[in-house]
Structure 1
């Protein structure tokens, strides 16, 4: 058996790195947060141990960005990336695996025993890292199917690692599947950026924030950011677009206050007008 990641796929490949940034923000830079570094370490362990790991947490905290970056670095040609909409049917999951593993022809989803045997053989032939995003959308049957794929592989070929990523009730869904839960090797829960991280991460994220005073960055986070990376990315896009559209504008607290007005008002604190009162 060849355990070296080498295959390429017609489907199920990781998104391009440029697609990782929210709304394709120009000149946004990847930032090595503590959470992202831990994610890379856990993905490395999953690859080494041929194990299952789970990365979970609320939306917008950078889970998908961190996992995609880690898989792109550590197993770019062996990663089969799968993401499904709400409650996918098993036929959709089998077809996605079939295509992601570059098996020939359309998946024989109406003869599940044949389809599953071909998928298991492909997983046994070469190392694969299955990356499943939005796991909160998967039902009990799909979760048990993934457990069974890993179980069968772990008893023979030992060539399969699985990374489960999701928000909302991801952990609870896995917890309710006792057999699956007991097989998850490592867990990571993403949390909002701390004030200290805001001061180091945000200026490195985009040139818009270069030179902005610490007090202003913390004010922005208190009013609207709340440690959520996606909210910070959205604010960056709004502000950068405004500056690009009007060359006479410059970065200021007044401009930031205007940007706040473009956000959902239930996610910000309009009573806070700024560090200078």
Structure 2
């Protein structure tokens, strides 16, 4: 399981609808060697969902959770053709040379020297032609049109069996959609939204021991007043309230702990 934000102790991994869709999307991208995108505002659980899916893909050959009542994932990449995963994060507005360099580094562990961008691309292609790959590009809202063209070139080359997943926050889809050559290749688009308020109390009671016996209306109030359906906000509140509860020997969230947590967080 990926590490929770703030290394929150006791937090459970909840298989929300968006979380499960990401696993299925990645399976589809790998099976069809396609492009896809996961995007949404910061703090909604995109990166956590993607990392959890990649862990399952590496361990079992499938990023999907098992079907209910079975131990078999929805789809599986044959073991003899197991996909290799490379993850990339580029700096803000990388040029095409930087993209080629970082791709080469992710594949070989080093950046080729003494060659230009085209020579680096050819070395990357040589590496990519040896096995199926899933390339995960995080913070994709930073990409430029020229940077995206390098990735499209590698993806389209007849020597590669390459799936590409773009992951990004605010402005990610707007950035990617400037390149119609990428948009036309997108097999899956998954947008993350804040948690629906009506679902929050039941979900939070499974999320952390502090909430297991908490009153639903209290959890709903915390979401309305502070968290707003945002996982990162919930983690910040949970870490603060759990510290306060531990110091006082308490095990269940109540109104006094909520008020104290707000004061510590500067929201009173």
Q: TM-score normalized by structure 2?
A: 0.84
1:32 aligns with 2:15: yes
Match of 1:130 in 2: 135
Match of 2:102 in 1: 96
Match of 1:81 in 2: 87
Match of 2:210 in 1: 208
Match of 1:120 in 2: 125
Q: What per-residue deviation string (whole Å, max 9, x for no partner) do you get for residues 205-255 of structure 1?
A: 211111111111111111111110110011111111222344379632122
CA distance in 1 between counterparts of 2:203 and 2:129 reads 41
Closer/same/farther in 2, CA of residues 137 and 215 from structure 1, 3 Å limit: same
Superposed CA RMSD: 2.1
CA distance in 2 between counterparts of 1:161 and 1:205 reads 33
- In 2, are the aligned partners of 1:108 and 1:114 still within 8 Å (CA)? no
Match of 1:229 in 2: 231
Q: What SS does the aligned partner of 1:108 have?
A: coil
Q: What SS does the aligned partner of 2:12 have?
A: coil
CA distance in 2 between counterparts of 1:131 and 1:254 reads 44
Match of 1:252 in 2: 254
- In 2, are the aligned partners of 1:58 and 1:168 still within 8 Å (CA)? yes
Closer/same/farther in 2, CA of residues 28 and 248 from structure 1, 3 Å limit: closer
Closer/same/farther in 2, CA of residues 113 and 91 from structure 1, 3 Å limit: closer
Q: TM-score normalized by structure 1?
A: 0.81
Deviation of 1:137 after TM superposition, in Å, equals 1.3
Deviation of 1:264 after TM superposition, in Å, equals 6.0
Q: What per-residue deviation string (whole Å, max 9, x for no partner) do you get for residues 81-132 of structure 1?
A: 11233223444433332222125x5323752222111101111111111011
Match of 1:176 in 2: 178
| Uncovered stretches (5+) of structure 1, i.e. residues with no partner | 1-16, 271-277
